[in-house]
Amino acid sequence: DSAMTQSPSTLSALVGDRVTITCRASRDISTWLAWYQQKPGKAPQVLVYEASRLQSGVPSRFSGSGSGTEFTLTISSLQPDDFATYYCQEYSAVFGPGTRVEMK
Amino acid sequence: EVQLVESGGGLVQPGGSLRLSCAASGFRFSSFWMSWVRQAPGKGLQWVANIKPDGTEIYYADSVRGRFTISRDNAKNSLYLQMNSLRVDDTAVYYCARDIVWGPGSLVTVSS
């Protein structure tokens, strides 16, 4: 079975910081990867699909990159609304354990 | 517009059964892999199962294999999840998903 890992598990940052989250797949998944943001009590919202395509309506400060087994989600300048938990997912399959972005 | 709507959730006792349904619209249902995803209270997202467009390939998470059965009816544009031998730790919001498109979710509570 495939597996996804994420690092870090928790990230403490300030508004305006550049933030990078890494996701690693246990097998080559090409670019079949999505990133989700979830806030407490809310359903997850997709940010990036096919590893690097920004979902409509998502601010341009979010970007995704990578292929094969290593992927990154970058927030170029962290905003107050971005404090949340982020998950990567191989399409229609396993999720990473999540990265909680908290205020430093 | 792509839409997925789950139904069938509710309260069930440990050891009981429940069947979730997902009504799909706005796309050619018979052409897409479909999956079920869940999230237990305070926990992360967990993939549960997925099924090939024609139903000939099915995969399950280890935690549900042998207890849950995913199926689909392409003529009815519907996805199903039959859940048997339910445990307290199956309590979660269950989402029907097509790639990155999810339904609003259906709450399943397993409790005595």
List, for residues B7-28, the tens digit of each pLDDT value. Answer: 999 999 999 999 999 999 999 9
**According to the model, what pLDDT value does residue B29 have?**
98
Please indicate whether, in this complex, the C-beta atoms of B44 and A95 are within 8 angstroms of each other. Answer: yes
Please indicate whether, in this complex, the C-beta atoms of B104 and A43 are within 8 angstroms of each other. Answer: yes
Q: Which of A64, A65, A96, A99 is nearest to A84 (CA)?
A: A99
List all residues 6 or more positions away from A40 whose beta carbon is below 8 Å from its beta carbon. Answer: none
**Which residue of B33, B36, B45, B98 is the best one to mutate when testing the A interface, meaning the one whose CB has the most A CBs within 10 A?**
B45
**According to the model, what pLDDT value does residue B67 have?**
98
The DSSP element (H or E) to which A46 belongs, if any, is: strand A45-49
Report the chain A residue with the minimal C-alpha distance to residue B46: A95
Please indicate whether, in this complex, the C-beta atoms of A95 and B46 are within 8 angstroms of each other. Answer: yes
How far lies B17's CA from each of A4, A89, B108, in Å? 30, 28, 11
Mean pLDDT of chain B, nearest integer? 97
**According to the model, what pLDDT value does residue A1 have?**
61
Average pLDDT over residues B34-54: 96
Strands (E), B9-91: 10-12, 18-25, 34-39, 45-51, 58-60, 68-73, 78-83
**According to the model, what pLDDT value does residue A92 have?**
83
Which tokens sit at B107? 């709450």
Report the chain A residue with the minimal C-alpha distance to residue B42: A40
Distance from CA of A31 to the nearest CA of B (A): 13
Distance from CA of A97 to the nearest CA of B (A): 6
- Indicate if the pLDDT at residue A3 is higher than 70: yes
Q: Which range among A1-15, A67-81, B51-65, B73-87 shows the weakest confidence by mean pLDDT?
A: A1-15
Q: Tally Cβ neighbours within 10 Å of residue B62.
A: 7
By the 8 A CB rule, do B36 and B44 touch?
Answer: no
- Indicate if the pLDDT at residue B89 is higher than 80: yes
Distance from CA of A79 to the nearest CA of B (A): 23
Average pLDDT over residues B50-79: 97
Report the chain A residue with the minimal C-alpha distance to residue B98: A92
CA dihedral angle for residue B98, residue A25, residue B81, residue B5, rounded to 10 degrees? -30
By the 8 A CB rule, do A89 and A5 touch?
Answer: no
Angle of CA points A68, A69, A73, to nearest 5°: 100
Amino acid at B10: G
Distance from CA of A84 to the nearest CA of B (A): 12
The DSSP element (H or E) to which A20 belongs, if any, is: strand A19-25
Please indicate whether, in this complex, the C-beta atoms of B44 and A34 are within 8 angstroms of each other. Answer: no
When pLDDT is cut at 50, 70 and 90, the band that residue A34 belongs to is very high
Report the chain A residue with the minimal C-alpha distance to residue B47: A94
Q: Which of B100, B111, B95 is nearest to B8 (CA)?
A: B95
How far lies B18's CA from each of A78, A84, B25, B89, B93, in Å? 42, 32, 23, 14, 13
DSSP state of A99: E
When pLDDT is cut at 50, 70 and 90, the band that residue A2 belongs to is confident
Chain A residues touching residue B59 (CB < 8 angstroms): 93
Please indicate whether, in this complex, the C-beta atoms of B100 and A94 are within 8 angstroms of each other. Answer: no
